Amino acid sequence: MTHHVLQMTKDLLWLFTSLLILLVSPGCKKQPNDASALTIPKARKVAPYPVFIETPVGELQTISFDLATRSWDTLDLDEGGLKHDYLPYPLNAGFIPLESGEDVQKQPVWVLGDKMMPGDTLGVYLLGMVQYVEGGLTHGEFLAIPADSDLQTIAVKRFRDFVISYDPVKFMFETWMENRHGIGSVSQISWLDEDKAGEKLAGIINYQGQ
């Protein structure tokens, strides 16, 4: 019975993921960006915030950009990567660069918009922040939409409107997050709206001394 329920859940999540990828991926496929020619955008304290894309929506593995070696890599599960037999990425994944002295730290962000490629950079507006517990630690990752209207796929700019108009998308994303590193690997998912998310990011930026 348990196996049957898990299979039904996986089938339903696959359907949701497929529909979302169709929603956010209307554009044609582009070629990946050459790592040696990439420039990490400068951090800024006000929106639109700069984002560097690592893993595109629809990808079946976690792609990471090594800031030290300026090279691409794919992460295994024990490195924080996607479970190998799981579902593809439902959104574009990347980071907001945070400067700390001479180093750059990654602040994870999910971009709900047209499909992008590793190394693409864009400005975004925060839609909210998802918080969750994994491995006994609390994590926080931002949800954003492109500032460029040509890259937007949903017509909302506030978290409340997102929940009202796109609740199935929110549900699918939460379910994907809960199980991407194994069934039930994530718990206690909660959300902050765009105002609270902006306050959180401002606090992180100030802490980094930017």
Q: Which residues contact 107 (CB under 8 A, 6 or more apart)?
A: 95, 96, 97, 98, 142, 201, 204
H helix or E strand, kind and range, residue 79? none
Q: What is the pLDDT of residue 15?
A: 52
pLDDT class for 36, splitting at 50, 70, 90?
A: low
Q: Is the pTM of this model over 0.85?
A: no
- Rounded to an integer, what distance in angstroms lies between the CA atom of residue 20 and that of residue 7? 20
Q: What is the pLDDT of residue 160?
A: 97
Q: Tell me the CATH class for 2-27+51-208.
A: alpha beta
Q: What is the pLDDT of residues 85-140, one digit of tens each?
A: 788 999 999 999 987 656 788 999 999 999 999 999 999 999 999 999 999 999 99
- Rounded to an integer, what distance in angstroms lies between the CA atom of residue 176 and that of residue 183? 10
Q: Which residues contact 61 (CB under 8 A, 6 or more apart)?
A: 55, 74, 75, 81, 82, 84
Q: What is the pLDDT of residue 20?
A: 54
Q: What is the pLDDT of residue 100?
A: 63
Q: Measuring CA to CA, which residue among 79, 65, 66, 68 is closest to residue 32? A: 65
pLDDT class for 28, splitting at 50, 70, 90?
A: very low
Give the residue carrying structure tokens 């479970």.
83
Higher pLDDT, 196 or 47: 196
Residue 32 pLDDT more than 80? no
- Rounded to an integer, what distance in angstroms lies between the CA atom of residue 179 and that of residue 194? 25
